[in-house]
Structure 1
Amino acid sequence: MKKEWIAAFGHMTYGIYVLTARFDDTINGMIASWVTQVSYDPPMIMVAVHPNRYSHGLIEKSHAFALHVLDCSQKEMLKRFKGPDPAQKFSGIPWDTGKTGAPILKNCMAWFELKVKERHDPGNHTLFIGEVINSGTKIPGTPLCTLDYDGMYVGKD
């Protein structure tokens, strides 16, 4: 990608979410920012995940994932879910198992549990479009976004 394009993409704003997934006894969580609602009826959300991410394989196998909205005061959660050890990501924080088996974090502003309805491979990221099968709100606040985040993901692996 051209250097000036990367700079321009760096000015686009996104929410910053924690995506969780499970297949059998394996769980993982990751940071996701390329996320958007794509339908109201039925309610559907799209997330872009690079194929080299551990969660990508879990989503492919389980056909499900969960997204969590963090408050801007929960920025420290990003370090936890950027780490390499899936077991450590969930150590010491409260979570439940959702209807699909995906981990649902208890301390977040809101969460969505999704069943994958479509998958598209338009470029180097996979677009998973999930239908919301369950959701909830937990704590009030202001959603964390890229304006609150040190650094910007513009498509590097």
Structure 2
Amino acid sequence: MFFQKEKVMSDKALAVGHIPSGLFIVTTVDGDKKDGYLASWVQQVSFEPLVVALAVKAGRPGYDHIMSGKPFAINIVGEHETQFMRHFWKGYEKSPFGEIPHEVNEQGGLVIKDAKSAITCKLSSKSHPGDHEVVFAEVLASNVFESEAKPKVHIRKSGLDY
């Protein structure tokens, strides 16, 4: 019986890993402090108002900033834009923003100029269904840097890992 249950869980994890997602750099800025992390669980969930959902694990860079309701940005990675993404893949010791072209837009979003595009959002509500919180965020503004590029698509080997 134990092996049968393990197999079912394995199949569940494999199937969930087949759900495609994009790759994103979620960024925050508060005074001189700039933070960011690589995210893959982001999805549009409403037309009116325009709302996106993202899963955020406590302890991620910028987590407290996002949960406080301050503006943050979701930078959408294009299919060939991997150079700036590497800074966020495994974390970083010093802020990578000195080397990555970026700006803070009028709404307070820290946008990466090498991204395909960026959306600036603010928390509208949240849910805590498991080991990540799901943040529902209203879109305040957008920046489009590369309209022709396709977004990077990420498919995982397992639903039990990023």
TM-score range relative to shorter protein: 0.7 to 0.9
Question: Greater shift after overlay, 83-92 or 68-77?
Answer: 83-92
Which TM-score applies when normalising by structure 1? 0.85
For residues 42-90 of structure 1, give each alpha carbon's deviation from its aligned partner in whole angstroms, at most 9, with x where no partner exists: 1111110111322222212353321111211112333211243364321
For residues 26-54 of structure 1, give each alpha carbon's deviation from its aligned partner in whole angstroms, at most 9, with x where no partner exists: 22111111111111111111110111322
Q: 2:99 aligns with which of 92, 98, 106?
A: 92
Alignment pair present for 1:146 and 2:144: no
1:65–1:113 CA contact under 8 A, matched in 2: yes
Aligned sequence identity (%): 23
Q: 1:6 aligns with which of 13, 17, 20?
A: 13
CA distance in 2, matches of 1:57, 1:85: 18
CA distance in 2, matches of 1:142, 1:11: 20
CA distance in 1, matches of 2:122, 2:158: 25
Q: CA deviation at 1:91?
A: 2.5
Structure 1 counterpart SS, 2:130: coil
2:26–2:72 CA contact under 8 A, matched in 1: yes
Alignment pair present for 1:124 and 2:131: yes
Alignment of 1:71-82 (within 5 A): 71-82=78-89
Aligned length in residues: 154
Question: Greater shift after overlay, 97-106 or 3-12?
Answer: 97-106
Q: CA deviation at 1:24?
A: 3.8
Alignment pair present for 1:107 and 2:110: no
CA distance in 2, matches of 1:46, 1:29: 17
Q: CA deviation at 1:11?
A: 1.0
Instruction: Indicate how the Cα distance of structure 1 residues 69 and 45 shifts in structure 2: closer, same or farther if over 3 A, else same.
Output: same
CA distance in 1, matches of 2:126, 2:61: 17
Q: CA deviation at 1:116?
A: 0.8
Instruction: Indicate how the Cα distance of structure 1 residues 64 and 33 shifts in structure 2: closer, same or farther if over 3 A, else same.
Output: same
Give the superposed CA RMSD: 2.2
Instruction: Indicate how the Cα distance of structure 1 residues 153 and 114 shifts in structure 2: closer, same or farther if over 3 A, else same.
Output: farther
Structure 2 counterpart SS, 1:72: coil
Letter in 2 for 1:17: F
| Unaligned stretches of 5+ residues in structure 1 | none
CA distance in 1, matches of 2:30, 2:40: 22
